[in-house]
Structure 1
Amino acid sequence: MTFLLYLAAALLILVSLAHSYLGERFILIRLFKRDNLPQLFGSSDFTIRTLRFAWHLTSIAWLGFAALLLALASPEFTPTMLLLIIAATFVLHSALALFLSRGKHWSWLLFAVVSVLLIVAER
């Protein structure tokens, strides 16, 4: 079973990296060249930033799942490991949303609160 968990984690890591790279290169950049994107907050900049961080959040989530599978494969597995991995995944979600939206998309705050709640729950 351990080998299968490692294999699944490796596949998630690969698909995550491919998703971010290929999506950015072949989908997002081409999409953002269009002149008919919705204009929120006075320009299409917010729309572009929101689509970009939403796209990459998926990749971060898959990396988080890979980390969970690696934790499950570990002989030192504990429920605390799961909480900390999930908290770290949402810290990354929060940071990406905050950075790419320049704080305008409030999801960063929700992701940060989830992270803090999980860290507090772990103690």
Structure 2
Amino acid sequence: MVFQWLIVASIVGLVATSLVHSLGGEFYLLRPLFKHRGNRVLEHPLARMVLRFAWHVTSISWLVLAVILYALAFDEPHLRAAILGGIGLSFTAVGLFDLIASRGRHIAWPLLLLTGLFALAALNYG
């Protein structure tokens, strides 16, 4: 029982950190950073998209870790499915988003998408 409560506390911490990171970072870091002009890198729309994308993908990864911790604590028979499903779904979605948002110009979208698809394939065949 103590084990599960400790994991719940860790999950709450991950979810809270994810939300604060995404929302706080968007409002207090990214938007003010993008308002300033004169930086050649930040003037490029793809660079701005990639920076914002990478910032929020970090938060998504923390949510996937929270799902894995939940499965570890409460759903052990389905631990493999929770891990592969969480990674597969999130990376597939992130890869597709990156492909669409960058119009295929960001180098990472194929790797993100393939990571997700391979994890989903492993779930299917495992």
User: TM over 0.5: same fold?
Assistant: yes
Runs of 5+ unmatched residues, structure 2: none
Shift of 1:73: 1.2
Moved over 4 A (4+): none
Counterpart of 1:110, as a letter, is L
Structure with higher helix content: 2
1:64 aligns with 2:64: yes
**CA distance in structure 1 between the aligned counterparts of 2:101 and 2:62, rounded to whole angstroms:** 19
Identity of aligned residues (%): 33
| SS of match in other structure, 2:20 | helix
* TM-score (normalised: structure 1): 0.87
Shift of 1:120: 1.4
Q: Is the 8 A contact 1:95 1:108 kept in 2?
A: yes
**CA distance in structure 2 between the aligned counterparts of 1:62 and 1:72, rounded to whole angstroms:** 15
**CA distance in structure 2 between the aligned counterparts of 1:95 and 1:9, rounded to whole angstroms:** 27
Shift of 1:116: 1.2
Deviates more, 1:7-16 or 1:80-89: 80-89
RMSD between aligned residues = 1.8
